[in-house]
Amino acid sequence: MGCVKKWTHQLARIGWLFFLLWAGSIGTAEAPPGRGIPPASWDALNPQASQPAWFGPVSTQTGWKTFSWRAPLRPPVGESRLALTLVFRETSGGFARVIWQEPGKSITLCGNLYEHAANLHQRTLLLDRATIAGAGQIIVESTGTEPVLERVDLSWVEPLVLAAGWAAWPGYYLSPSGKIFPAEDLQDGGHRAPSDEDKGAVMDAVLDAGPLKIEPQSAVRFATPIAGQPFCGRLEAEVAGLIPGETPWVWINGRALAGVAAECPGLDDPGYRTEPNGRTIEYGGWRKIWAFVPAGCLKGGENQIDVQLPSTAEGITLRNLRLQVFFGQAAAPASPPAQASAPAAKDLKIKSSLGPRLRTGLSSDAPVVGLRQE
């Protein structure tokens, strides 16, 4: 009996020893790459804010018809990559390039930030350690003598692929504010041309790759023929310049769609800016819009999709307009509800987009969406 008690006490001591070792390891375990390195943020409205030791100080210089923004960078130890987000105001006919400069080396990270999509815009670049191996400086050079940068955010990150598949190559990345970036958008090469995707009973077709300017009270019509009998659908596009809280009006074959939704990034997203009057909020950057197309809107043959902005909205740029079509049976499809705030289709002043820039079919020159009912 005494032997049993002795072993019990020894096991208890061993158990406590393992517990103390485990508890101590919590505080000493190595943090994931990029974790624990404080981010840096420079804002034109508050340029003297305190910064982490690895960043700054920022300086500016006006040259002959140029303006330069410079920020010294001392990369911390590790393999984390740098996510560089720049919010800026585009100038007409100019350019803004991003350069990494260190002793004996100068690399152009982005030849031109401008996409001519909106006055207020943003771009994010993902820089690896092969590019920024040691101490140096980030330089943004722009044409004109006025500054274009509104805000710069820098974070050391270890990106994880959010979704990757044969149709989603090379994957997507998720930002802390909830935005999803295609991997190619984080490089200087820019946006990859979209393509059609066959998803079994669903056809996902590109109606217009864009970019296309849409002005208020001047609708743009997209036409697409559909082979077979469609049941319902879904519209998706990317827009820049859309005022937060506003959504475009969309009609399918003269019927207004209800429930057009616009992506709303978290308020910590650097793209949100307040105008000098302090009452108007702007957003710079691409956002997605979606709309469900109820049964009875689409038809076999030619379909017309009209997009218009409310009178209170400013002009926007639209790209990557896609239509997903589901082919099925419906005995008596109900009429879709009308969007109350949208004007009647007969009042539209249609401005056709320049040329039938339709990208339909599956890797072919077929003029129709080539998915038929089996």
Per-residue pLDDT, 171 = 63
Of 34, 60, 189, the residue nearest 112 (C-alpha): 189
All domains of the chain in start order, with CATH:
40-158 (2.60.120.200), 159-192 (no CATH), 197-352 (2.60.120.1200)
Half-sphere exposure of 140 (CA within 13 A, CB side): 25
Task: Please report the pLDDT score of residue 372 as a whole number.
Answer: 27
Three-state DSSP class for residue 22:
helix
Residue 137: which of 101, 184, 179, 105 has the closest Cα?
101
CA 37 to CA 40: how far, in whole Å? 10
Percent of the chain at pLDDT > 90 equals 43
For 206-259, how does the pLDDT look when each residue is reduced to its tens digit (9 = 90+)?
889 889 999 887 889 999 898 888 999 999 999 999 999 999 999 999 999 988
Q: What is the Cα–Cα distance from 246 to 309, expressed in whole angstroms?
A: 9
DSSP β-ladder status, 281-283 and 316-327: unpaired
- Using CA atoms, how far residue 30 sits from 34, 78, 128, 129, in Å, is 11, 12, 21, 20
Residue 13 contacts by C-beta under 8 Å, 6 or more apart in sequence?
none
Give the pLDDT score at 176: 64
The pTM of the full predicted model, rounded to 2 decimals, is 0.75
Say how far residue 286 (Cα) sits from the centre of its chain: 5
Read off the tokens for 250. Answer: 């969309």
Which residues lie closer than 8 Å to 341 by C-beta, 6 or more apart?
249, 310
Q: Rounded to a whole number, what is the largest CA-CA distance in the chain?
A: 97
How far is the C-alpha of 318 from the C-alpha of 247, rounded, in Å? 12
Average pLDDT rounded to a whole number, residues 172-179: 64
Task: Read off the pLDDT band of 61 (50, 70, 90).
Answer: very high
